[in-house]
Every structure is written in C-alpha cells, then in structure tokens.
C-alpha cells in the first residue's frame, strides 16, 4: 500500500492545483503535513466560481458548523476562538466581538490566522486626530 504522505512535493502541488471547491481544498490540506504544505493560496484558483459557505448558529462548544451550498452538506470546524462571541462574516473572514469587552478579532476559519483589531474607541480617537472635521470623520 502506498504512503500518500511520501509523494513528491511537485506532484502534491499539481494535485492541489486541480482542486476547485474551497471546502475540498481545506480537506486536502488536512490530510497530513506534506499535503498541508501544498494547500497554500498560490495553489488554489481563487477565481474559480465558488458558492459561499454559510456559518450556522453557535451551539456553545468549540466547533462551528458551515453549510456548503454546492455539496448540500454540513461540515464542523474546530474554532474555539469564536466560542461565546458574536460573529460577523466579511469576505471569507470572520470578525468576532467579545460580548463583555467588545474586543474584536479578525480570523480566517480555515487557517491559523487570527488578528486582534483595535477597540472601537481607539478607532474613533484615531479618526478624531486624523480628521478634525466631523463630516470627514463620519465618512472615514
């Protein structure tokens, strides 16, 4: 029996480039470390037409469920970062807001990228410094 983890890197890259649906690409990257190293943006055709994944309601655990319109199935994704937080989708990313502190983060649900965003008050303070005119500040 073949060990799929031992395929040559160039061959794994060629396979990755043929995967068209984002949910399949994510699954491809979860096979093993050598496949994960090929599941990178440069190997995915982001211009390929994609139907969105719909994030389902929070069930209070460390997982979130996503419904695939193209495959008509639900996938569970381990996302402890969103537990007990409001979630707002934005272009494939999730903006999370903590209920108590209003701390915001921007995270990509299928990669380990998680960026803390400035607090709303900090953004308004910055806008006030940069745009002393109230009308310009509101446009900003």
pLDDT at position 60? 84
Structural domains of the chain, count: 1
Cα–Cα nearest to 66, from 53, 81, 50, 83: 53
Burial of 46 (0-12, 13-18, 19+ CB in 10 A): exposed
Domain residue limits at 29: 1-50
Look at residue 22 and tell me if it is in a domain.
yes
Look at residue 131 and tell me if it is in a domain.
no
Looking at per-residue pLDDT, the higher value among 74 and 92 belongs to 74
Give the count of beta carbons closer than 10 Å to the beta carbon of residue 133: 8
Specify the 3-state DSSP secondary structure of 122.
helix
Q: How far apart are CA 2 and CA 41, in angstroms?
A: 27
pLDDT per position as a tens digit, 15-43: 888 888 777 877 788 788 788 888 777 77
Residues facing 96 on adjacent strands: 87, 105
Cα–Cα nearest to 30, from 106, 104, 112: 112
Look at residue 32 and tell me if it is in a domain.
yes
Q: Which pTM does this prediction carry?
A: 0.59
Tell me the H-state helices in 90-133. Answer: 120-130
pLDDT per position as a tens digit, 77-134: 888 888 888 888 877 788 888 878 778 889 887 777 788 888 777 777 776 777 777 7
């Amino acid at each position: 029996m073949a060990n799929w983890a031992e395929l040559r890197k160039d061959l794994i890259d060629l396979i990755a480039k043929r995967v068209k649906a984002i949910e399949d690409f994510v699954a491809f990257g979860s096979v093993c470390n050598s496949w994960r190293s090929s599941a990178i943006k440069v190997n995915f055709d982001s211009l390929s037409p994609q139907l969105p994944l719909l994030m389902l309601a929070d069930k209070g655990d460390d997982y979130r469920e996503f419904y695939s319109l193209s495959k008509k199935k639900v996938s569970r994704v381990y996302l402890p970062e969103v537990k007990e937080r409001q979630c707002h989708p934005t272009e494939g990313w999730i903006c999370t807001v903590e209920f108590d502190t209003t701390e915001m983060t921007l995270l990509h649900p299928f990669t380990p990228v998680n960026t803390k965003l400035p607090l709303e008050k900090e953004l308004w303070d910055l806008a006030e410094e940069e745009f002393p005119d109230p009308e310009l500040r509101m446009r900003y």
